[in-house]
Amino acid sequence: MLTGLAPVAAAEAAPRPSAAEPLPLERLFDNRAVSDDARPADADFDGSGGSLSARDLAAAGWTPGRALGVDGARLAWPDRAAGEPDNVRADGQAVRVRGRGDALAFLVAGTGGEATGTGSVRYRDGSRAAFRLTAPDWRGGPLATKSVALPHINTPGGQLAEKAKLYVVTVPLARGREVASVVLPPDPGAGADLHVFALSVRGEAKGWTGSWSASTAGYTAVGPWEDRTVRLVVHTRTGGPRVRIRLDNTFAGTPVRIGSATVAVQEAGAGARGAPVALRFGGASGTEIPAGAQAFSDPLRFAVPPDANLLVSFHLPGKVASTPVHSAALQTSYVSGPGDHAADGSGAAYTSTLKTWPLLTGVDVGGGAGSVVLLGDSITDGVGSTPDTNRRWPDELARRLLAQDPDDGVPRYGVLNQGISANRVVADRYPGDGVSTDTGGVSALHRLDRDVFAQTSVRTVVVFEGVNDVRWGASAEEVVAGLREIALRGRERGVRVVAATVVPCEGEARCTSAVDAERVKVNSYLRGSGDFDAVLDFDAALRDPERPARLLPAYDSGDHLHPGDAGLAALARSVELGELVG
């Protein structure tokens, strides 16, 4: 975990200043991590002869020199052949890096255990600041936070059927300052090495506001689809004169090919209002997204209306048997018969329906005031609301923001719904790798960088989670520790962090009196800790005054856990909009 930026003079373990002239990272490579399967002894990543398989990397789309988009950052897999030096063992080297942004992004892995150390960043104005960098172990590190997992480890004695993992880790930067160089942490010692494959500045998404988003909740079997077009219906929260989309191949082990893609305003069903407009990717009609990576479409001049349904269509020319999904879309989308029908204005070719959102994770619009991210579970996801009506509480909040006068001091933020049904603060439901029927996502802590800090122009995050933790046996102390870490990490990133109290659920099978006691403890912490920039009292907004352990019956969807349409509207109405402004 990172600990943020601080002046080097105040850091207890900052690396020794480097007298060497900063060099590009590739000129500092001193370790061989990748081997040809036929010549595993040509590399020794971990000091014991273990290495990454070049064949496995190619199968994942991680080929030499390949640009990889991960968590909003742009990194390049080293342009080196198998058996050549392809990474740096961190030991205080000075690395030439340029750019302005919100974070440094490192493509890393530890060997000999988790590797942690303190490095420093030097800005063009001469100032310096320390950062803490942690590289999870390539064999024993968590699957939930990995960028890619390879199925084998090469050794001189033969190939092992064991996962090899690589990680993208970010640390915050002082916004507005231009980075000149980075000093890597010193050798962590104790038999561990911190390996750096790539490093870049994650640029801020200037000129863009998030209008719609969905978190990747799992990786499930689909179709299989081959030569099919997927047409997804998504609801904008704010509008603008330009548009771009984001596709994420999260949790995947293989690349996915997008043959073409379009955007249109929905007329009805799978039918478009006017001709769909083609999207481009780096000037091309389609793109291939490596395992664990993402792709943004090029900016497109297209008038996106606020509070409206869009059709985002993309053709899948190859066989797709499994894909990252957002499971609780509560929106009917469509899949075509054979052929590329992305440009069809008519919905006639779309012969089957879909209740999830595969691959698509974001729609951004040009201009705007920035975004508010709502990090939550099924209540934020909209479970309990009427499908196909866009009555989730994030939708209702977005309408309030659109209706208010920005001269009153609250910008018309875009609202990004990062709720995942069944999600928890401190435990993973989906393990983070492989095909699974569980789509409860990795924990809020494990998805915080991807689903909050890497979102487009994020200004504020509202954290509304905890009920699933206590319903499944977590203590209030465990939930509080997780929420406190979210507050700390948000503060380090310069993001305003607002918490919402946990609403009651008496009458639902797991919501026992003991569970409610833990919920009350979590809420007591939220109301009194001062760890957050503001607290929204959703508990008070929805509880029955006569029986505060349960939802007010008028707000209950019927399962005693999820508010219905009226309850979700009450949540949105209870938000003091000024609390969203940093």
CA 151 to chain centre: 23
> What is the C-alpha separation between 291 and 60, in angstroms, rounded?
5
Higher pLDDT pick, 15 / 114:
114
What is the per-residue pLDDT across 55-99, written as a single tens digit (0 to 9) for each?
A: 999 999 999 999 999 999 999 999 999 999 999 999 999 999 999
Bridge partners of residue 415, in order along the sequence? 372
HEC string of 92-119 equals CCEEEEEECCCEEEEEEEEECCCEEEEE
**What mean pLDDT is reported for the chain?**
95
- Which strand ranges, in their side-by-side order, compose the sheet holding 148-150? 88-89, 193-202, 103-111, 164-172, 148-150
CA proximity to 538, closest of 549, 523, 553: 523
Tell me the percentage of the chain whose pLDDT exceeds 90: 95
pLDDT at 19: 53
Residues 32 and 42: beta-carbon distance below 8 Å? yes
Tell me the average pLDDT across 499-508. 98
Beta strands in 189-308 (DSSP E): 193-202, 208-213, 218-225, 228-235, 240-248, 256-258, 260-268, 271-278, 287-289, 294-296, 300-304
Q: pLDDT tens, 442-472?
A: 999 999 999 999 999 999 999 999 999 999 9
Closest CA to 446 of 201, 142, 163, 220: 142
CA distances from 228 to 287, 321, 342, 350 (A): 16, 12, 10, 9
**Per-state percent for the chain, helix, strand, coil, to nearest 5:** 15, 35, 45
Distance, in Å, from the CA atom of 507 to the CA atom of 558, rounded to the nearest integer, reads 10
How far apart are alpha carbons 484 and 529 in whole angstroms?
A: 9
HEC-encoded secondary structure of 10-59: HCCCCCCCCCCCCECHHHHCCECCEECCCCHHHCCCCCCCCEEEHHHHHH
**Hey, is 166 helix, strand or coil?**
strand
CB contact at 8 A, 105 and 91: no
Other CB atoms within 10 A of residue 97 CB: 18
Q: What pLDDT is attached to residue 4?
A: 42
Which one-letter DSSP state was computed for residue 391? -
Domain residues of the chain, as ranges? 8-202, 219-363, 369-582
Q: Centre a 10 Å sphere on the Cβ of residue 472 and count the other Cβ atoms it contains.
A: 13
Q: What is d(CA 99, CA 235) in angstroms, rounded to the nearest whole number?
A: 34
Of 552, 469, 550, 567, nearest to 505 by C-alpha is 550
| Structural contact between residues 149 and 165, judged by C-beta atoms closer than 8 angstroms | yes
Regarding pTM above 0.85, the answer is: yes
CATH architecture of 369-582: 3-Layer(aba) Sandwich (3.40)
Residue 293's pLDDT is 98
**Which residues are 367's β-sheet partners?**
none
> What whole-number distance in Å separates Cα of residue 555 and Cα of residue 391?
13
pLDDT in tens, 424-448: 999 999 999 999 999 999 999 999 9
What phi and psi, each to the nearest 5 degrees, are found at residue 240?
180, 170
CA-based max dimension of the chain: 73
List, as one string, the DSSP characters of 490-544: HHHTT-EEEEEPPPP-TTSTT--HHHHHHHHHHHHHHHH---SSEEE-HHHHHEE
Q: What is the pLDDT of residue 408?
A: 86
Structure confidence at residue 406 (pLDDT): 83
Q: Which of 320, 340, 422, 7 is closest to 174 using CA atoms? A: 7
As a whole number of angstroms, the distance between CA 393 and CA 576 comes to 14
Question: What secondary structure, in 3-state letters, does 289-333 show?
Answer: ECCCCEEECCCEEEEECCCCEEEEEEEECCCEEEEEEECCCCCCE
Q: Residue 415 is inside which H or E element, if any?
A: strand 414-419
- Model confidence at 9, pLDDT cuts 50, 70, 90, reads very low
pLDDT in tens, 11-68: 333 344 445 799 999 999 999 999 999 999 999 999 999 999 999 999 999 999 999 9
- Rounded CA separation 262/271 (Å): 13
Helix axes 565-574, 393-403, angle to 10 degrees: 40
Alpha helices in 404-507 (DSSP H): 448, 467-471, 476-492
Q: Are strands 94-99 and 179-183 parallel, antiparallel or unpaired?
A: antiparallel
pLDDT at 249: 98
CA angle, corner 170, sides to 168 and 171, nearest 5? 155
Total residue count of the chain as it appears in this document:
582
Q: What's the pLDDT at 12?
A: 31
Average pLDDT over residues 387-408: 95
